[in-house]
Amino acid sequence: MIPYGKQDITQSDIDAVIEVLKSDFLTQGPVVPEFEAVIARYCGAGHAVATNSATSSLHIACLALGLSQGDWLWTSPITFVASSNCALYCGANIDFVDIDPETYNLSAELLEKKLIEAKKTGRLPKIVIPVHLCGQSCEMEKIYNLSLQYGFKIIEDASHAIGGKYQGKLIGSCQFSDITVFSFHPVKIITTGEGGMAMTNNQQLADQMFLLRSHGITRNTDHMTQIPDGPWYYQQVELGFNYRMTDIQAALGISQMNRLDEYLDKRHELAEKYNNIFVDTPVKSQCQRPGCYSAYHLFVIRLQDSASISHKTLFKSLRTEGIGVNLHYIPVHTHPYYRSMGFNFGDFPNAEKYYNEAISIPLYPLLTDVEQEYIGNVILGLL
């Protein structure tokens, strides 16, 4: 089976992990701060806070921005559930903004319309989480300008997008956001096995996220309520979590970062080949907006009405032919848990139409020319 995504682990990655395994620290050692510094330098951000998952990063990002009971968080319905669950973890309310039918990202135009109505009813969001689906940035400048007008904070869910660019700057620089979150799950652009990173240019937010990822415990005397009893002393000053990344994971991440740009070049090469294969067919791919450089974590095709095969039949047929396609994502508001909150089918029609047409086909640096040609020929033969 050709998977839709796959990690690339080299001998240099293995050597980096072994070096940590032979060291004095498997966790809470020097390698995590080193990894944070590597990512911060690469993205041009002031601070990076490593965690054990992007979900954890989203959670502490919300908490650092003060999200709590009675507040509202808005995000895209086309995302993994973590982008919205993070609001619920904080006791806040969740709502969605429908997607742009061409980019599949949260629509800045629909966001503005929803903000205008929400202001009338006093239900403006405290936080908006734009999700950079497949690795292409949302229209962040427009969203940022709306945040200035309506007073909300921005967390970029860039789980798909490390290495991507917006208006010439790397995603993660937080040019138009308070915090940006990356994922290092094995199918993402680079991997630490599991892991995440929260980027920010705000020292106070960084300090709060560092605190929250490690039980709310500090050894910084400036943050303590009394003079330390001795050199062993620490204080819990917040209710935090065990969201730490290990040095083993960080070592893998540092090694993977050495090949990030190479990975991106290969993903763009594969995406261009797919686009050429599907010219003049009933297959449509994600529109790439001017000023955006996608990280191409995913390559999503949408089956148009003119196709002679149904969406479900195409999906099942591709898997039968050994092509491990997937679907990213089931609209969050249609899951039973969210429908129990009052969301219904039909609430976000662009997202639901996307769901009925979208298929993620294989795209990763180790995908060979022969495999990609086979995938293309099988799809064309089924249309």
Domain ranges of the chain: 2-257, 261-382
Q: What is the pLDDT of residue 343?
A: 98
pLDDT tens for the chain, 383 residues long, are 999 999 999 999 999 999 999 999 999 999 999 999 999 999 999 999 999 999 999 999 999 999 999 999 999 999 999 999 999 999 999 999 999 999 999 999 999 999 999 999 999 999 999 999 999 999 999 999 999 999 999 999 999 999 999 999 999 999 999 999 999 999 999 999 999 999 999 999 999 999 999 999 999 998 899 999 999 999 999 999 999 999 999 999 999 999 999 999 999 999 999 999 999 999 999 999 999 999 999 999 999 988 889 999 999 999 999 999 999 999 999 999 999 999 999 999 999 999 999 999 999 999 999 999 999 999 999 99
Rg (CA), the chain: 21
pLDDT the model gives residue 285: 96
User: Distance of alpha carbon 115 from its chain centroid, rounded?
Assistant: 24
Per-residue tokens: 320: 């039968």
**At what angle are helices 369-382 and 311-320 packed, to 10 degrees?**
140
Q: What is the dihedral of CA 58, 61, 65, 67, to 10 degrees?
A: 40
Contacts with 15 (C-beta within 8 Å, 6 or more apart), sequence order: 255
How many residues are listed for the chain in this entry? 383
- The order of strands in the sheet holding 179-183 is 47-51, 196-200, 179-183, 153-157, 127-129, 72-75, 93-96
Judge whether 39 and 172 are in contact, CB under 8 Å.
Answer: yes
**Cα(160)–Cα(183) distance, integer angstroms:** 7
C-alpha span between 367 and 333 (Å, rounded): 33
Q: Are strands 299-303 and 283-285 parallel, antiparallel or unpaired?
A: antiparallel
* pTM for this model (two decimals): 0.97
What does the angle CA 237 – CA 238 – CA 242 come to, to the nearest 5 degrees? Answer: 115
Q: How remote is the C-alpha of 116 from its chain's centroid?
A: 27
CA atoms within 13 A on the CB side of 316: 5
What CA–CA distance (Å, rounded) separates 5 from 299? 10
Distance CA 185, CA 194 (A): 5
pLDDT of residue 305: 86
Distance separating alpha carbons of residues 88 and 67, to the nearest angstrom: 10
Three-state DSSP string of the chain? CEECCCCCCCHHHHHHHHHHHCCCCCECCCHHHHHHHHHHHHHCCCEEEEECCHHHHHHHHHHHCCCCCCCEEEECCCCCCHHHHHHHHCCCEEEECCECCCCCCECHHHHHHHHHHHHHHCCCCCEEECECHHHCCCCHHHHHHHHHHHCCEEEEECCCCCCCEECCEECCCCCCCCEEEEECCCCCCCCCCCCEEEEECCHHHHHHHHHHCECCEECCHHHCCCCCCCCCCCEECCCCCECCCEHHHHHHHHHHHCCHHHHHHHHHHHHHHHHHHCCCCCEEECCCCCCEECCCCCEEEEECCCCCCCHHHHHHHHHHCCEECECCCCCHHHCHHHHCCCCCCCCCHHHHHHHCCEEEECCCCCCCHHHHHHHHHHHHHHC
Write down the architecture of domain 2-257 according to CATH.
3-Layer(aba) Sandwich (3.40)
What are the tokens at 146?
């709306």
CATH 3.90.1150.10 fits 261-382, yes or no: yes
